[in-house]
Homo-oligomer: A and B are copies of this chain.
Amino acid sequence: MTIGLLLITHGDTGAHLLATARTMLGVCPLETEALGVAFDCDPDVVEAQARRIAERLGDGGDGLLILTDMYGSTPANIACRLQGRFHARVVAGLNLPMLVRILNYPGLSLEELTEKAVSGGRDGVVVCRKPEGGE
């Protein structure tokens, strides 16, 4: 399987999360790109940019997984519109555990990877307890 991974977020959040995940894992086993969306952008211009990236990432592959930061916001709406043109799935609520979970399963299909994104993102939201024996 050759899934492309595209992050579409407000500002540089996606690029920062991607850099963090790459450093944590030491490798990045999927073709990946981050697109930042400014609040004062023209959504049509950004959508055209996103399409060009999607063509590069998805070219000859087995689909495109698009991660975005918040359902209903401009980056998510742009991501959703790409689903009409590409074999793509979109998952909102991007966090670091979601991204790390995905990069740990580079061999999965698009549907399977979409499920991993959701479970990784949700499972990563936890209340952390005080360390045992801590001050």
Instruction: Report which A residues bind B (CB closer than 8 A).
Output: 9-13, 16-17, 19-20, 23-24, 39, 68-71, 73, 76-77, 79-81, 83-85, 89-98, 100, 114, 117-118, 121-122, 124-131, 134-135
Contact = CB atoms under 8 A, between A and B. Distances in A.
A61 B127 CA distance: 21
Contacts of A122: 122, 125
Contacts of A71: 97, 124, 126, 128
A70 B125 contact: no
Contacts of A84: 130-131, 134-135
Contacts of A92: 97, 124-126, 128
Question: By DSSP majority rule, is chain A's interface helix, strand, loop, or mixed?
Answer: mixed
B24 A19 contact: no
Contacts of A134: 80-81, 83-84
Contacts of A121: 93, 95, 125
- Complex A-B, nearest 10 residue pairs according to Cβ-Cβ distance, in ascending order: A93-B125, A121-B125, A93-B124, A84-B135, A95-B95, A90-B128, A83-B130, A10-B20, A69-B96, A84-B134
